[in-house]
Amino acid sequence: MANLGYDRLVMPQPVFIGPSKSGPGTGVVTVTHRARNRRNEEVCSCLRMALLRKRAV
């Protein structure tokens, strides 16, 4: 078996498991994930956005 990819995966609204809270203590983080094979060729990539709690500084 092999994962052949994703096609047009869109989450038009935030999806949460359980209760969630958004407000001044949260922020959106965008992360790019890349997977490479043994020859260092990019074989998979995606852009992911997550709503996270801000930490105190």
Using the predicted structure, report yes or no on whether residue 1 has a pLDDT greater than 60.
no
Amino acid identity, position 35: A
Residues of the chain by 3-state class (helix, strand, coil), percent to 5 = 0, 40, 60
Look at residue 10 in the predicted model and tell me its pLDDT: 75
**Cβ atoms of 54 and 29 closer than 8 Å:** no
Q: Tell me, what's the pLDDT at 21?
A: 62
Q: Are 29 and 52 contacting, i.e. CB atoms less than 8 angstroms apart?
A: yes
Asked if residue 40 has pLDDT above 90, the reply is yes
Q: What local confidence, expressed as pLDDT, does residue 43 receive?
A: 87
Domain ranges of the chain: 24-57
